[in-house]
Amino acid sequence: MSTRVLVVDDSAVVRKIFTSELDRDPGIEVIGTAPDPFIARDKIVALKPDVITLDIEMPRMDGLTFLRRLMKHYPLPTIVVSSLTPRGGEMAMEALDAGAVDVMCKPGSSYTVGDMSIELREKIKAAALVKVKKRDDNADDTARKAPLTALKKTTNKVIAIGASTGGTQALQSVLTSLPRNTNGIVIVQHMPENFTRAFAERLNNICEMEVKEAENGDSVIPGKVLIAPGNFHMMLQRSGANYFVNVRKGPLVNRHRPSVEVLFKSVARVAGPNAVGVILTGMGADGAEGMRLMHDNEAFTIAQDEQSCVVFGMPKEAIKAGGVERVEPLDNIPRTIMSHL
């Protein structure tokens, strides 16, 4: 049975492109389009789509306001499609807080229609499986958790985390539970450029550890979290006893840049038994082989369990590949990391 999609965007060109590209997939049916939230509201009630794609900047009512109302009264899996700008990144973070399943950017100079089409189809199919809950306007999703007891001593270890769909909330849950002197953390979250910087800044405001978008040559040290910038791969490197990251362009790996596979394989080679690998919610299989390599090189590896995942794709594939030592619910992952360290 096809996934029924409503495309909401004020641009007639975008609506036409999305409809044409999505209809290429026999598993997806575009049942309608809407140029603004008011028309979208009526079509949602009449057509009952499984998933909607939503622009942020629209006339009469902006996409964020509409999304918040939608999640309160008629929750639907929603993929937000935003412009590739710093402001677009900030609004994308707000959309995820408001209940969007995922965010992506519109085609541009560094993001072709072809790339967008493949990714959007995958995101739509993953979103259709998500059970979206009603949102309470008074709920504070950014509430800071009390961190676990600080490490009495730190050793030269590295924590590598990979995530995709649903990962922004999962990462927030993990990172806000870790103490200030936790070993250095390197993260790949599938997200476009500019979006990752806004995400890092947001986490930095609510975490004990320092969180930043990674730059080439950044040191991986206790108390610091480095998030791979969108559209760049990130690899761990070592000089003597010191770890640092190499950030660079390169071909898409598993249809992603940044790729969890690239990070995990570098961590397996460089850190081996001094590494902890964590794979969180996400669609696809990115990172599965890298986690198996980490496990084979004696790293301690953890996968998020199916019940707590938004999409049990990446963890499932890592488990199937034989690279996972522990399978844990999301809330247990910080304690499992700390216990090992």
Distance CA 125, CA 138 (A): 30
Distance CA 319, CA 324 (A): 5
Judge contact between 294 and 277, C-beta under 8 A. yes
> 């953890």: which residue's tokens?
302
Q: What's phi and psi for 5, nearest 5 deg?
A: -125, 140
Which value, in Å, is the radius of gyration of the alpha carbons in the chain? Answer: 20
Judge contact between 159 and 275, C-beta under 8 A. yes
Among 82, 190, 256, 259, the one annotated catalytic: 190
Q: Quick check: is 164 catalytic?
A: yes
Judge contact between 147 and 176, C-beta under 8 A. yes
Distance CA 188, CA 227 (A): 6
Cis peptide before 77 (omega within 30 of 0): no
Among 164, 177, 259, 308, the one annotated catalytic: 164
Distance CA 245, CA 70 (A): 41
The residues near 311 (Cβ < 8 Å, ≥ 6 apart) are 126, 129, 130, 164, 165, 166, 281, 282, 283
3-state DSSP call for residue 211? strand
Torsion of CA 235, 328, 323, 211, to 10 degrees: 0
Enzyme catalytic residues: 164, 190, 286
